[in-house]
Structure 1
Amino acid sequence: MASTTLSVLSLNCWGLGVLSKRREERLHAIAHYLAATDYDIVGLQELWLFEDFDYLKSVTKDVFPYAKYFYRSVSMPSTNGSRSVLEIFALFHSGVLGSGLAILARYPITSTSYHRFSLNGHPLEILRGDYYVGKGAASACIQHPVGGIVEVFNTHLHADYDVKTDKHHGHRLSQAWEITKLVRASARQGRHVIALGDYNSAPTTLVYSLLTSYARLTDIWLETHPVSSIPTADLTPASSLLHLGITCDSPLNHWTNPRLPRGPLGDRLDYIFYFRTAHLRCRSALVVCTEPDLQLQCHLSDHFGVEARFEISPAPAAEPVPDPAAATSAILDQVLVILGAHHAVARSKHRGLVYAFLILTPLTLVFWILTAVLASIEATRPPAVPIIAVVGGLMTAACAAGAVIALVCGFVAGHEEDRTFREVVEEVERARVRVETIAQEEGEEEREIESETRLL
């Protein structure tokens, strides 16, 4: 008999090629861990290197003999009539370095897509890399034998590298806004919707409020774990996993940097959201991968995983998507304030880069001419010519390189960021007007009902 349950895991693998400690060992251990689980769907983040994905595929292939490679996905067709635990893989390619996202499923993936975020860091922030990996939202439509199509969105939002200033809050809000549009559009098509991943946002942030209020997504942790009556100050790192669902920067994790200013318990940054209907209900949620690997004597990742188990039944062909709550208007107002502030900072930065281009371009010409002139004047003194050529050439090359970088980052990338901010702000403003209109209409209906009741 086909199962009416659906089990889901989300895990940030911390698979950076050079920066992640003991990456290869840990990713191999993660592959073996997944091969021994009973999950129906797994969403992985920070799986950056192809060899790590290939190893994960080979490990599961040894246990489950299904394998076929696609450019955007890898599936495992049957060779002996049996089914594997993780039958189909989807690895998503994006940007220069790849998205780092993968979706694994027990049931057939009927289609996949990748939505690259419009705002995703700045090209000058090379060491942070968000701009170059092309972060976005990966989706896979999975055919559950009972529930029908389940569309799973897997994402990894821009990190807040500086918790105190959070210079990328505007970009992260824009990314969350794009996700709200994707999940609402999917729900309108009558699909079950699950949105998981590393959102780099605590439950108290605007990103979280936008997803739960405007998109009407349900947080599986809060649904299954009512707000704890225990004061946060009385919680221990171990009890915070049970009561708060902490997944990142926990003192219990071997890889936590103690200098990070996230508090003594860590943060909840990894989530499994879903569009709650009568046909899809979460029954339990757990923080997993909290114990060190016995062989490695360390944790599998610097994040803990999140597990959810659902009850699922066939959804109708199309089900009305609830309108955002009336309180969403205040949240959208706050979003607009943040977007406006970050837009202003971005425009100022772009203007500075354009001015740098206008200054460096003539300087390049000046140094080139000076080098040629001085070299010709000192031609009678051969030892001076090489020195002039080297120094002048370096100055010319440095100014030319700076001018090109300033042009690309200030004018090209800058104009793109400016226009994207404008577009997102307009979309949010339209959404706010709609929410306010709905609230007014609901208020008028309530007043009419009250007046009719009094007349009776």
Structure 2
Amino acid sequence: MTVGEQQQQIKDPNKSLEIRVFTLNIWGIPNISRDREARVQAIAQHLTGTHEPYHYVFLQEVWSKTDFQFLADKVSKILPFSHYFYSGVNGSGTCIFSCSPIHEVHFHPYSLNGYPHKILHGDWYGGKGLAFCKTTYQGIPILLINTHLHAEYDDAKDEYIHHRVAQAYEISQILRFAKYGHHLTIFGGDLNCTTADVPYRLLTYNTGLIDTYLDCALKPADGVGATNETPSNSYTPLKALRNNPNGKRIDYVFYWVSDQYQVKTLVHDQPLPHRVPQKEFSYSDHEGVRTVLSIKLKQNNPEQDEKSKKEICFDRTHSLLDASAVCAQGLRIVSKAQKMYAWLAALMFILQMTVLGLILVDMHPGGRFVLFFLLILLSIGFGFSVYMALVFSNQEHSAVMATKLGLERLLDEVRQKNAKYFEEQKKLSSARQ
């Protein structure tokens, strides 16, 4: 079938087109992630061995360029087009594999992405952001998006919630502009939040993105569809199971479609077995997610559209209010931290002057060496404290404040729409009477 015939096929309202999508956080940190090389090989075997090949694959935490090149080479026959997104110190970790030619790419780094001194967390060094690819499949312009939001680390005390809210806001605003001009947007990735969390609600209600898990009629037996810290995963720690016995669903595939087409999720499942064949470990500490979408020309249903408009309006209002509250709390946290670093810098300076005075006193060479070493440590601490107080904290404050002000502008818009909607409903009700 030629491209022209394929394009004609989708114009037939009685015919549909299927698109198969796969997303996975592969947990690919060199020298840290256990069994990484064997798992990457197994992932490549799955991508090439499935009887219904994927059209688009989104991977996260591909921190080794060697791993990306290995995967790209292995899947080149079915997914000949791919792109790795470079960012930050170690790269973004995100990449996209495509069956159709990639026309354009873009990467938007998040304005907030953790703290530089949280070395063991590592998010700040990862350069996470929003990865875009433009492609066309069978005549349909498609926008592919891959991302990986900041990790949570602690359910009870989430110090990064305002960072993830800022990231979700950036995604939603960029997507509100970027999706137009494309008939279909497919968005996959690791959001590090559940459906009850503010970042998820902000992202979905502020963009109109459809969660394919919720859109699919068939649900897993556990009713959760967990993708992380699941009881069947070999890498799930016992502590995580005590907090969430069934695991958490934090990996997603979303879609948005223009008014010209309608999309339905036919399949949403986890195609990877619990263990790599002939091995005692899983493919990753996350579960892979497969989605099969059916797209065809839209047949309008005004009554359903009106109902959806009403529900989205209310849900969007609540999500924006909750996100604004998180930002307000985040600003208080930033202000408190900035003051702490300022006092710490002052203390370091006083200690530096004290140690410097002791060094100038005539004393034993051994003692002078110890004091000189201590002076170096204090100088490093002083420089770090000054940077955090005067540079990083101001950057963090600006990013959170920008998010909060943007949310308030959106709230004003939504309130006006709500008032207009209620006025229209009131007039309709009066006319019927």
CA distance in 2, matches of 1:288, 1:350: 47
- 2:372 is paired with a residue of what secondary structure? helix
Q: Does 1:195 align with 2:169?
A: no
Report how far residue 276 of structure 1 moved: 4.1
Contact 1:246 1:287 in 2 (8 A): no
Q: Which amino acid aligns with 1:48?
A: W
Alignment CA distance shift 1:397-1:54 (3 Å): same
CA distance in 2, matches of 1:266, 1:357: 42
CA distance in 1, matches of 2:202, 2:84: 28
Report how far residue 91 of structure 1 moved: 0.3
User: Which residue does the alignment assign to 1:150?
Assistant: 142
Report how far residue 86 of structure 1 moved: 0.5
* Bigger mean CA offset, 256-265 vs 169-178: 256-265
Percent identity reads 27
CA distance in 2, matches of 1:123, 1:20: 21
Contact 2:216 2:264 in 1 (8 A): no
Q: Does 1:239 align with 2:221?
A: yes
Q: Deviations over 1:133-172 (max 9, x none)?
A: 11111111121123x2211111111111001111111111
Q: Which amino acid aligns with 1:52?
A: D
CA distance in 2, matches of 1:258, 1:157: 24
Q: Does 1:21 align with 2:34?
A: yes
Matches within 5 A, 1:313-332: 313=296, 325-332=313-320
Matches within 5 A, 1:117-128: 117-128=110-121
Contact 1:326 1:438 in 2 (8 A): no
Contact 1:170 1:338 in 2 (8 A): yes
State the TM-score, normalizing by the size of structure 1.
0.84
Q: Deviations over 1:252-295 (max 9, x none)?
A: 11111111254211111100011145343322211221331113
- 2:221 is paired with a residue of what secondary structure? helix
CA distance in 2, matches of 1:256, 1:357: 40
Q: Does 1:270 align with 2:251?
A: yes
- 1:204 is paired with a residue of what secondary structure? coil
State the TM-score, normalizing by the size of structure 2.
0.89
Report how far residue 117 of structure 1 moved: 0.7
CA distance in 1, matches of 2:103, 2:267: 27
Matches within 5 A, 1:160-179: 160-179=152-171
User: Which residue does the alignment assign to 1:427?
Assistant: 406
User: Which residue does the alignment assign to 2:88?
Assistant: 95
What is the total number of aligned residue pairs between the two structures?
406
Contact 1:137 1:155 in 2 (8 A): yes
Q: Deviations over 1:216-258 (max 9, x none)?
A: 11110111147x7xxxxxxxxx832xx3211111111111111
CA distance in 1, matches of 2:268, 2:278: 27
Contact 1:121 1:131 in 2 (8 A): yes
Q: Which amino acid aligns with 1:36?
A: G
Q: Does 1:56 align with 2:37?
A: no
Q: Which amino acid aligns with 1:301?
A: S
Report how far residue 302 of structure 1 moved: 0.9
Q: Deviations over 1:414-443 (max 9, x none)?
A: 110011111100000000110010010111
Contact 2:215 2:264 in 1 (8 A): no
Contact 1:253 1:290 in 2 (8 A): no
Q: Which amino acid aligns with 1:13?
A: I
CA distance in 1, matches of 2:59, 2:227: 14
Report how far residue 314 of structure 1 moved: 7.4
In the alignment, which of 278, 282, 303 is matched to residue 295 of structure 1? 278
CA distance in 2, matches of 1:225, 1:306: 16
- 1:188 is paired with a residue of what secondary structure? coil
Contact 1:186 1:193 in 2 (8 A): no
Q: Which amino acid aligns with 2:319?
A: I
Unaligned stretches of 5+ residues in structure 2: 10-16, 299-304
Unaligned stretches of 5+ residues in structure 1: 65-83, 229-237, 379-383
- 1:325 is paired with a residue of what secondary structure? helix
CA distance in 2, matches of 1:410, 1:139: 34
CA distance in 1, matches of 2:248, 2:334: 28
Q: Which amino acid aligns with 1:342?
A: G
* Bigger mean CA offset, 49-58 vs 167-176: 49-58
User: Which residue does the alignment assign to 1:367?
Assistant: 355
CA distance in 2, matches of 1:133, 1:354: 27
User: Which residue does the alignment assign to 1:209?
Assistant: 201
Q: Which amino acid aligns with 1:358?
A: A
Q: Which amino acid aligns with 1:306?
A: V
Q: Which amino acid aligns with 2:102?
A: I
Q: Which amino acid aligns with 2:62?
A: L
CA distance in 1, matches of 2:297, 2:430: 41
User: Which residue does the alignment assign to 1:105?
Assistant: 98
Q: Does 1:35 align with 2:48?
A: yes
Q: Deviations over 1:162-193 (max 9, x none)?
A: 01111111111111111111222122223411
Q: Does 1:46 align with 2:64?
A: no
Q: Deviations over 1:297-321 (max 9, x none)?
A: 3211111111111123579xxxx9x
Q: Does 1:305 align with 2:288?
A: yes
Report how far residue 366 of structure 1 moved: 3.0
User: Which residue does the alignment assign to 1:73?
Assistant: none
User: Which residue does the alignment assign to 2:378?
Assistant: 399
Contact 2:113 2:128 in 1 (8 A): yes
- Alpha-carbon RMSD across the aligned residues, in angstroms, is 2.1
CA distance in 2, matches of 1:202, 1:173: 13
- 1:151 is paired with a residue of what secondary structure? strand
Q: Which amino acid aligns with 2:246?
A: L
Q: Does 1:258 align with 2:208?
A: no
